[in-house]
C-alpha cells in the first residue's frame, strides 16, 4: 500500500516515513503544496496524510481542489489545528478523517487501516473510451491504440476534459479553469502550447483534437 505524506515539519515527516515504512507501507514524503499537487496527479496512492499549514499552501484548499478534479484517494488531515471549526472545515473540504497533533502512532495506524477498508468497498471509476483513446481516471493513465501515452499531469487533464466532452467544443477558458484551476483571465497561449504538446504525443492520432477557430477545441466522436 502506497502512502503520500505531505508534511513540512522535518521531524514529523521523518518520524512518519520511518514508522510507516516499518509497518510495511511504501511511503513518499513531500513538504509543500506544489510538490503535493504534482505528486498526486503523477503517481497513484492508496492513502494521503496531509498537513494543513504548508509553505505557500493550505491543506484544506489542496484537498478541495483534488476532489474537484476527481481524486478519490482517502485523505487524512494530520495537523495541530484542533478547533471544532477546523475539523468541520477539513471534512467539508473533502477529508475523510482528521487527527490532531500530538498523536499516538497506534491511533494513526488504526485510522489508516479503517480508511483502507473503506476504500476497498468503493467502486472504481469507469474507464473513458473514445475510439483509439482509453483513459483510466483512477490511475490517471492514457492509452492510444493500445500504447501507453507518456503524458504530463496537465496534458492528461486536458485530454480527460476533452474526452469527457467529446463531440462538444471546449473553450480555452473552460480548459484553463479545469486544468490550471484558475478563474483569472485565461492564458490562451499556455493552453494552446500544452494542447500542442498533447497532439505531438498522440502522433498519427493528433487530428482527433480539432481546433475550432475562435471557440476552442473539439475531440471528435469516433467509433
Q: State residue 23 phi and psi, 5-degree precision.
A: -85, 0
pLDDT at 62: 93
Contact predicate 77/66, CB 8 Å: no
**Alpha carbon distance 208, 221 (integer Å):** 9
204: nearest Cα among 122, 151, 140, 133: 133
More confident residue, 47 or 43: 47
For cell 475510439, the residue is 131
Largest distance between two CA atoms of the chain: 59
pLDDT of residue 139 exceeding 80: no
Burial class (CB in 10 A: 0-12, 13-18, 19+), 82: exposed
Rg of the Cα atoms in the chain: 19
pLDDT of residue 2 exceeding 60: yes
Domain with CATH 3.40.50.2300 in the chain: 2-120
pLDDT of residue 70 exceeding 80: no
pLDDT at 117: 86
Is 0.85 topped by the overall pTM?
Answer: no
Rounded to the nearest integer, the mean pLDDT of the chain is 89
48: nearest Cα among 27, 18, 31: 27
Among 54-68, 140-154, 167-181, the minimum mean pLDDT is found in: 167-181
pLDDT at 122: 58
Mean pLDDT, range 108-131, rounded to an integer: 83
Q: How far apart are the first and last CA of the chain?
A: 37
Neighbours of 123 (CB within 10 A): 6
pLDDT digit string (tens) for 146-176?
999 999 888 998 999 899 888 899 999 888 8
Name the CATH topology of 128-219: Arc Repressor Mutant, subunit A (1.10.10)
pLDDT of residue 179 exceeding 90: no
Contact predicate 169/216, CB 8 Å: yes
Cis bond before residue 102 (omega within 30° of 0): yes
Angle, CA 36 vertex, CA 33 and CA 41 arms, to 5°: 130
pLDDT at 222: 66
Mean pLDDT, range 94-111, rounded to an integer: 95
pLDDT of residue 186 exceeding 70: no
Name the CATH topology of 2-120: Rossmann fold (3.40.50)
Domain with CATH 1.10.10.10 in the chain: 128-219
More confident residue, 33 or 139: 33
Helix (H) or strand (E) holding 38: helix 33-42
pLDDT at 112: 95
CA trace torsion 172, 139, 114, 93 (10° rounding): -10
Amino acid at each position: 500500500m502506497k502512502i503520500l505524506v505531505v508534511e513540512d515539519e522535518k521531524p514529523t515527516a521523518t518520524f512518519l516515513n520511518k514508522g510507516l515504512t516499518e509497518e510495511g507501507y511504501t511511503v513518499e514524503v513531500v513538504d509543500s503544496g506544489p510538490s503535493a499537487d504534482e505528486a498526486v496527479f503523477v503517481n497513484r496512492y492508496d492513502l494521503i496524510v496531509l498537513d494543513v499549514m504548508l509553505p505557500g499552501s493550505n491543506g484544506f484548499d489542496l484537498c478541495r481542489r483534488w476532489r474537484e478534479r476527481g481524486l478519490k484517494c482517502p485523505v487524512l488531515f494530520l495537523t495541530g489545528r484542533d478547533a471544532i471549526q477546523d475539523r468541520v472545515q477539513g471534512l467539508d473540504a473533502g477529508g475523510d478523517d482528521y487527527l490532531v497533533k500530538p498523536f499516538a502512532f497506534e491511533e494513526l495506524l488504526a485510522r489508516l487501516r479503517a480508511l483502507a477498508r473503506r476504500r476497498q468497498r468503493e467502486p472504481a471509476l469507469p474507464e473513458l473510451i473514445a475510439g483509439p483513446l482509453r483513459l483510466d481516471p483512477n490511475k490517471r493513465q492514457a492509452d492510444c491504440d493500445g500504447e501507453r501515452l507518456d503524458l504530463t499531469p496537465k496534458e492528461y487533464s486536458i485530454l480527460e476534459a476533452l474526452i469527457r466532452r467529446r463531440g462538444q467544443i471546449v473553450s480555452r477558458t473552460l480548459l484553463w479553469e479545469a486544468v490550471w484551476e484558475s478563474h483569472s483571465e485565461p492564458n490562451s497561449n499556455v493552453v494552446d502550447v500544452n494542447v500542442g504538446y498533447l497532439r505531438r504525443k498522440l502522433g498519427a492520432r493528433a487530428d482527433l483534437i480539432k481546433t475550432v477557430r475562435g471557440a476552442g477545441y473539439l475531440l471528435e466522436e469516433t467509433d
